[in-house]
Amino acid sequence: MSAVVTALYRYPVKGFSPDGLAAVDLVAGETMPFDRAFAIENGPSGFDPAAPRHLPKMLFFCLMKNPSLAEVVSRFEAETQRFVVAERDGRVVFDDTLASEAGRAALADFVTRRFPGEVRGPARTLAAGGHSFSDVAKKVLHVISLETLRALEAKLGAPLDPIRFRPNVVVEGLPAHAELDWAAGRRVTIGGVPFEMVKRTERCAATRVDPARGVRDLEVPRFLMETLGHTDCGVYLRSLADGRIAVGDAVEV
């Protein structure tokens, strides 16, 4: 089977909107650079930057628990680690670098002020070199198939924005649901970079949130269970070599 990459995304701050990328340079066994590089704990999480480890997303601000995060739009500049947040009307409400302790503290303060109803405890912006605050412990890229979403849309009777599923890579040209049949370890090549299948993506309540409005509007996990008999949509792949992937690259399975 063959297909093509139609979009690439990274999510520098967990829970906030993605950056669309034309291309990205990968390191074998790592996430996209700066993907979930920062997270804002919602009350003490026990995370130690000196000994980083995977922790449940419920300890951080995330769309599953905090859908109003999608009321704003953010962008990140990798070179300076500048993070900018704007309201949907374009007003910039936060602009600082997350490379500094002061900038990270300012982001935590902003989140506390902008989303007071979501706060459970003191907020703190966390980071640790090389660590990703992903929903899974393994360092992976998340892939969504447009054909699968189109098949689901036809049954659901409502549009499904790929961003609702927080993908790193959006692919077009695979048969609907074909990716769910890939066995662990199966090889997939994107733009000449080899990957291996890790596991299917079990969907959580974050997919209930409209990424353009910040409100829960669709019971996606329940719909998947009723339609498919499971809540999986998308797959996780692990890169096996250094290399660049780009929008327009061929996907070979």
Provide mean pLDDT across the span 192-198.
Answer: 97
**Nearest-5° Cα angle at 187, 25 to 55:** 65
Q: Tell me what the pLDDT averaged over the chain comes to.
A: 96
| From-to residues of CATH 2.40.33.20 in the chain | 2-29+137-252
| Mean pLDDT, rounded, for 220-232 | 96
pLDDT tens string 101-131 = 999 999 999 999 999 999 999 999 999 999 9
Give the model's pLDDT for residue 214. Answer: 87
Q: Give pLDDT tens digits for 37-92.
A: 999 999 999 999 999 999 999 999 999 999 999 999 999 999 999 999 999 999 99
Above 80 in pLDDT, residue 2?
A: no
User: Lowest-pLDDT range, 26-35, 133-142, 147-156, 205-214?
Assistant: 205-214
- What pLDDT band is residue 160 in, cutting at 50, 70 and 90? very high
Task: Summarize the confidence of residues 5-25 as an average pLDDT.
Answer: 98
Q: Which CATH number is associated with domain 2-29+137-252?
A: 2.40.33.20
Question: Under a CB-based contact definition with an 8 Å cutoff, are residues 38 and 14 in contact?
Answer: yes
Does 1 score more than 80 pLDDT?
Answer: no
Is residue 218 predicted with pLDDT exceeding 70? yes
Query: What number is the average pLDDT over the span 201-212?
Result: 93
